[in-house]
Every structure is written in structure tokens, then in C-alpha cells.
Structure 1
Amino acid sequence: MSRLDNVTVLGSGVLGGQIAWHSAFKGKTVTVYDTDPDAIVRCQAAHDQYAAIYVSDVGADEADIAAARERLTYGTDLAAAVARADLVIEAVPEIPAVKTAVYEELAGLLSADTLIATNSSTFLPRDFASATGRPEKFCALHFSNMIWAMNFAEIMAHPGTSPQTLTEVTEFAVEIGMLPIPVRKEQHGYVVNTWLVPFLNAAQTLVTNGVATPEDVDRTFLYTGARFGPLGMMDMIGMKTAYDVLSHWARENDDAQMGANAEYVKKNFLDRGRLGLQTGGGYYDYPDPAYQRPGFLDVPDISAVPDLVSLIVPIEGA
């Protein structure tokens, strides 16, 4: 058993909220911290949704849900939020300057034994180790969206991470029902996002460039038996995270197409308040997205052929 019983999650967005709820459900005492009171309210509403999901999909009963709620607290005072923390999990936006500022503020507030883990999906722990003020007690612990079903956690060290920190963080992951994925070398994107970001970027490129509709992109993937396609996946990840990741790597790699994809996400979703599943709308409207409706993959009636043909750009010179 690890000693990491009191957990503070910094950031109440999609994944931060899921980490907090799941950790509390698994018996940890959890404080959710955010600078934005409205974000806390959205997180609490999401936790109500997760309660229903855990009853229907995880097998929880009402007593389990009540116990999880009892273990959760929420706040906007950082010092109070981390006062008793054994482990702080950082899940703030994927913007290096934001993460660094949080770590620098955090550094003077923690007890000597408190561990810190970043849930970054993109950056290396070495990028922030010195800012934490306790590099030996810092590593990456990256969770996946839909944590109750995609129950794995990627664990990555930087050169200064102590073996004891890795042991305790890995034990914590097991205690909350995660399959630990040891990342054997430092890698931007870890394991899952090394393949996921190019996958989502390719899907977004098809939409940005007008090659296919979001629904048709997702249809081509749903034939694999998946529950949702890449654009539905972006809704679940959250449009803010998608934008932050795409825009960062567009700048880093001087990638004009990725930059265009980030701008598309900003214009069509962020600027319109459609942040994905958490706000009830992104590429799809929730809780009844089109890809879950009967008939989404049905072969059309032959009478639909003229309309379909009208969407196909003629080949020049044919």
C-alpha cells in the first residue's frame, strides 16, 4: 500500500475532473483546485454525470457514489487545497508557461514529503522539474480520457526522479485501478499521444481542408468496431486541449497544416463556446451524438445517389 491517501488535483477540466472523481471512487481523499469558480461548478456538474456512468457502466451502487462524494472537496485557494496533500496531480492547460507558473507558486506551499505528478499529455517532466523545487519527487503520471474504461496510466521519469517516487506513484496508480504503462525513455507524447495526435491531426486535416465531413471521417473509423471516431474523440478530449496541443506543435514544427487545424478548432468551437462533451457540444451534440444513433452506418437508399454524387468534385479533364 502506498502512503498517498490525500490527493490534490490542480485543474478541474475534463481529465482533471475525471482523475479526481475516479481517485475518490477508489478510496482516496481528493481536493479539486481551480483558479476559476465557474470551472469548479462545471466540474461538479461533470461529477454528477460520472456518478450515473459509474452506476450504469462500472457497477457502483448508491453507497459507493455517496462515499465518493464524501471524499471530494473543491476550492480556489491553492494553499488550502494542498495543505494536507501526499500527492499533487497537475492537470492544468497544455501551455508550458501556465504549468511552470503553477509549479513555481506551488513550490513553497507543500510539505517536505509531498510528491508531484504531471498529467501532461505532451511535455516531458524534465521541462518543469526545476520549477517544482523538488525534482526528485516529480514525475509524469498521464491518464486517458474516459478513465473508468481506458484505465491505464503512463509513468515517465526525468533524470532526477528518485526510484522511491516512481515506486510510490506506480503503487498509487495500481491502487486506483490503473494499468501502469512504464515509459522506458523520455518521449514527447508519451505512448498514447505519440500515435494519437498524428491520428487526430490527420482526421482534422480532412475536415479543415473540406475533403470530408466530420460524420464521414468518423464513419470510416467506426467500421473497425470502435465506439466513436476521431472527431467524436476530440469532443471527449475537449476542444481546448485539442487546440493547445495542435497550436503548440504547429509552432514547434513550423507545420502550416497543423496551424490551420488549430485555427479551425478555435474559430468553429472555442470561439462559439462549444468545448466538447463537457459543454454538451463540439463536433456533435450530447448526450445524443449522431454517431450513437441507429442508422449512422446504414447503407443509404439508392435514391440518395444523386445527392451523394453532387458532393464529389469532378476529375479535371474527365
Structure 2
Amino acid sequence: MTIEIRKVTVLGTGVLGSQIAFQTAFSGFDVTAYDISDDALAAAGDRITKLAATYRDEVPAAADGKADKSAAGIALTTDLAAAVADADLVIEAIPEVLAIKQETYQRLGEFAPERTIFATNSSTLLPSDIKDFTGRPDKFLALHFANLVWKYNTAEVMGTSDTDPEVYQAVVDFAAAIGMVPIELHKEKAGYVLNSLLVPLLNAAMALSAGGYAEPEAVDKTWRIGTGAPVGPFQILDIIGLTTPYNILANSGEDGQQLAAWLKANYIDKGKLGIASGEGFYRYSA
């Protein structure tokens, strides 16, 4: 059986969802992006416009109007049934809250054709915690992207014990077709490879500042000088956006919840959400 993926729907048009949609359209696929409200889609339109400008500046292949054409070709909708009616692949990039994902997949399973493959971009949740809500566990797996997909172009592919090997391979091939480097995991691991390494670093950095040991700037400076890394953990958090780490921490153990409360009170409640809002741990010019 040959599985062909041409029509792709991305659920969720936040920072990473918009990037996934744009990169997929830029690679020649038919893309629809779904979100829950007109306001969310208006914000997505702004993100996609900015991504077109970024690609023109940073991606050599974006010459001759390709970036603008890719942006214009992404269909935006708040109608979930219409968004997935003819999809070969649905990539879910909604908030990192298990109950929200489970409820979304129950609805998605009712609307999508039987052939449609479902892939979660969840950062830390196991696909096994979601698969029974999809109605098609054999066609469900995880496909995880790193933020700034045109630059940090990994795509981690992780199935469950129920995932059809041909579906798994089709998603690996799709990842390569949109310019990603597929990273194949042999069994489930919360956090995959990237976040199994990254999340403990980010949490340790936040614990240092929340505990009053060092300011974010000092933590980042130490990491950059000591390891030669181009950016520090708080700079990474600003790139990711603070909402995703907050959701992860708020749904973890007591230590994580304490960090979540610190993050919320000192940053999120003040509108400091990261680069996308103009300020997080650092301030950014327009």
C-alpha cells in the first residue's frame, strides 16, 4: 500500500503551528490551518505575513516571490469539519493540555476521512495517552518540530504500539519532503529526544531565578560562556513563548507547579509572553 500525502491540515495557529503550516506550504503541499476563533486566525495571518518576510531574508530558496505565494496559499478557517474534510494528514499543534487534546481528537475523528493520518506535535505528552480518543490508533503518531523550523529543522517521529509501520514511514517521508531531518524514535519517550534534553535545562534555569539565586541574564551568560552555545535557556524560553512551558509546568508535580506560579505572576500576567509579544525575560524591538 502506498500512502500519499498531499493535503495537510494544521490544527492550531500559534507560534509553532503557523511555522509548520508555512513550511509545509513552502514545500509545495496544499495547506489548511484551523483555529478556534476569528481573532486567532487574524493573529495567524499576521504571523504568516511575518514568516514570509523572514523566509525572504533567511531562506535562499524563498526568492522570486515563493515566500509570498506560499503565505497566500494557506487557507485559514474556524470550521473544523471543513478543515479536515479532504485531509491526508492532520498535524495537531494545540495547547499542551491533555484534556484539550483528547477532546479535540474525539471531534476530529468524527469529521476526518478514514484514510487521514493524525499526528500530534505535543512537546511532552505520550501519544499513548491520546490514541484511544482518535478512533484510529493505527493511523496516529507524534510528529514533533523544533521552534524556528526553517533553521532548526528536526522532525521527531514517534509512534505507539498500535501505529501502522507504513503510516510511520509515510510520516518520516513527509518530514523529509518538507525539508526536515527526520529523527526516528524506536519507542515512546515523553519529551522525545530534544525535549528530554531541553526541558530539564529550562526548568533548572527557571528554578535558579525563581529561587533568587541569579537573574535570567546571568544564567544565560553562564550557559553561553561555559558551553559555547549561541543562546541561553531564558533566550530559548522567549523563542518558544512562555505559554507552552507554563502549561507543561502547571500540569506537572509540586515543584513544577511552583515554577508555573512564578512564571505566571512575574511574566505571563504582565503580558510578557516572549518574542511574539515583544517582551519575555528580555525586551525586543518591533
* TM-score > 0.5, shorter chain as reference: yes
Does structure 2 retain, via aligned residues, the 8 Å contact 1:26–1:177?
yes
Does structure 2 retain, via aligned residues, the 8 Å contact 1:2–1:172?
no
CA distance in 1, matches of 2:16, 2:10: 10
Correspondence for 2:77: 75
CA distance in 2, matches of 1:268, 1:74: 34
Correspondence for 1:241: 244
Correspondence for 1:314: none
CA distance in 2, matches of 1:137, 1:150: 27
How much has 1:123 moved relative to structure 2?
Answer: 0.9
Does structure 1 retain, via aligned residues, the 8 Å contact 2:89–2:118?
yes
Correspondence for 1:150: 152
Correspondence for 1:260: 258
CA distance in 2, matches of 1:245, 1:84: 32
CA distance in 2, matches of 1:268, 1:81: 37
Per-residue displacement from partner, 1:184-238 (whole Å, max 9, x unpaired)?
A: 1211111111111110000001110111111111111222443321101111111
CA distance in 2, matches of 1:277, 1:135: 36
Correspondence for 1:139: 141
Correspondence for 1:229: 232
Range with greater deviation from structure 2 (195-204 or 39-48) = 39-48
Range with greater deviation from structure 2 (41-50 or 132-141) = 41-50
CA distance in 2, matches of 1:286, 1:30: 31
CA distance in 2, matches of 1:32, 1:62: 24
Does structure 2 retain, via aligned residues, the 8 Å contact 1:118–1:142?
yes
Does structure 1 retain, via aligned residues, the 8 Å contact 2:19–2:148?
yes
Correspondence for 1:125: 127
CA distance in 1, matches of 2:64, 2:259: 43
| Partner AA of 2:206 in structure 1 | Q
| Partner AA of 2:159 in structure 1 | A
| Partner AA of 2:266 in structure 1 | N
Q: 1:282 to 1:248 in 2, by over 3 A?
A: same
Range with greater deviation from structure 2 (219-228 or 134-143) = 219-228
CA distance in 2, matches of 1:175, 1:90: 19
| Partner AA of 1:249 in structure 2 | S
How much has 1:2 moved relative to structure 2?
Answer: 6.0
Range with greater deviation from structure 2 (201-210 or 268-277) = 268-277
Range with greater deviation from structure 2 (19-28 or 53-62) = 53-62
CA distance in 1, matches of 2:67, 2:133: 37
| Partner AA of 2:269 in structure 1 | D
Does structure 1 retain, via aligned residues, the 8 Å contact 2:160–2:187?
no
Q: 1:222 to 1:22 in 2, by over 3 A?
A: same
Identity of aligned residues (%): 45
Per-residue displacement from partner, 1:17-56 (whole Å, max 9, x unpaired)?
A: 1101111111111111111322222222111221122111
| Partner AA of 1:216 in structure 2 | A
Range with greater deviation from structure 2 (55-64 or 155-164) = 55-64
Range with greater deviation from structure 2 (31-40 or 150-159) = 31-40
Does structure 2 retain, via aligned residues, the 8 Å contact 1:28–1:71?
no
**Structure with max Cα Rg:** 1
Range with greater deviation from structure 2 (223-232 or 46-55) = 223-232
How much has 1:67 moved relative to structure 2?
Answer: 2.2
CA distance in 2, matches of 1:39, 1:241: 16
Per-residue displacement from partner, 1:232-282 (whole Å, max 9, x unpaired)?
A: 1111111110101112222xxxx43x2221111111222122221222211
| Partner AA of 1:242 in structure 2 | P
CA distance in 2, matches of 1:287, 1:229: 19
Q: Extract structure 1 runs of 4+ deviating beyond 4 A.
A: none
| Partner AA of 2:194 in structure 1 | V
Structure 2: gaps of 5 or more residues: none
> Which among 93, 98, 110 is matched to residue 112 of structure 2?
110
Does structure 2 retain, via aligned residues, the 8 Å contact 1:208–1:260?
no
Does structure 2 retain, via aligned residues, the 8 Å contact 1:2–1:171?
no
SS of the residue 2:125 aligns to? coil
Correspondence for 1:284: 282
Q: 1:7 to 1:287 in 2, by over 3 A?
A: farther
> Which among 204, 209, 212 is matched to residue 211 of structure 2?
209
Does structure 1 retain, via aligned residues, the 8 Å contact 2:124–2:190?
yes
Per-residue displacement from partner, 1:148-193 (whole Å, max 9, x unpaired)?
A: 1110111001011001111111110000011111111211111111
Please, what TM-score do these two structures have when normalized by structure 2? 0.95
Correspondence for 1:300: none
Per-residue displacement from partner, 1:44-86 (whole Å, max 9, x unpaired)?
A: 2111221122111111114211221232011111011111211
SS of the residue 1:139 aligns to? strand
Q: 1:165 to 1:222 in 2, by over 3 A?
A: same
